[in-house]
Amino acid sequence: MKTFTKILGGLVLALLLLAAGALALSWAPDRPVEALKARWAPPPSQFVPVLGMQVHVRDEGPRDDPQPIVLLHGTSASLHTWDGWAATLVPTRRVIRMDLPGFGLTGPSAAHDYTQAAYARFVVAVLDTLGVKQPVVLAGNSLGGSVAWKTAADAPQRVARLVLVDSGGYPMQATSVPIGFKLAQYGALRPLLQNVLPRSMIESSVRNVYGDPSRVTTELVDRYYELTLREGNRAALVERFSQFKGGEAIAQIPQIRQPTLILWGGRDRLIPPALGERFEHDIAGSRRIVFPELGHVPQEEDPQRTVAALVDFLKT
């Protein structure tokens, strides 16, 4: 009996040591924004004061563009998700990107308001701060898509055209959810999530939303991982999931009158293609294009093909 007790005690001790080692390897406290700027905010990045926040913005291209293109990223992403689109568009178009409150280098909302309406007001406030008074082409992916169409509905005079890329808006019908999103929806885990973040969890989450996971690079995982560690972002993500459930303003979608392009990844398991069909049905005159082999972030996974669809749309 004593021998068994010793063996059992040894096993428990070994498990505790393994758990402590895993915790130590995953220990990742918040990082101050200043420590992240050098890598993730080189020129043309700038920080502008908006609604009590220092908002990370990139504003590129000719200032005489009659319809600037504004790009909004999704949950846990950043303005970098549009790098490929910007590279194609900037030589001839003014392109404005921003890190939404709670994400990227912008960090938490000063008002701790992560509702869809608050995000729409934020977008208009950024445009006002940048002196953009003319209607824009407003494009958004996932969360950014839901913010884009809400802005188009609430402030139609500010939006000339709308582009929805695997957009949120209708109740979720996910067949697969990244593990990082699952954990963030449990407020009880907040104290742990504040200081622990396995890089492997971020890699798994990014690969989950790609149609072809082999396209996920080390630098891409680095970006998502390090910007998640930006001071306050993890706490903000928990708040966002508790406040922004989706489906807040569905009744407004059929009221949208701007010319609308809908782009969707055929392998999107987070917001399946059927919801793209629903947007097409509900927004009169909209045009939908599906990229069968791409996932939830097609603008990032294959920027050349997806931006070509935008360019064609802007010619019509």
Q: What are residue 167's phi and psi, to 5 degrees?
A: -80, 145
How do the domains of the chain map onto residue ranges? 1-30, 33-315
Q: What percent of the chain has pLDDT over 70?
A: 85
- CATH code of domain 33-315: 3.40.50.1820
What is d(CA 43, CA 295) in angstroms, rounded to the nearest whole number?
30
Q: What is the mean pLDDT of the chain?
A: 89
pLDDT in tens, 224-258: 999 999 999 999 998 988 887 656 689 999 999 99
What is d(CA 46, CA 183) in angstroms, rounded to the nearest whole number?
32
Residue 188: count other Cβ atoms within 10 Å of its Cβ.
7
What is d(CA 291, CA 268) in angstroms, rounded to the nearest whole number?
10
Residue 139: pLDDT above 90? Answer: yes
N-terminal to C-terminal alpha carbon distance within the chain? 82
The single residue listed with the structure tokens 């939830």 is 296
What is d(CA 139, CA 133) in angstroms, rounded to the nearest whole number?
17
Residue 2: pLDDT above 60? Answer: no
SS3 category, 84: helix
Residue 20: pLDDT above 80? Answer: no
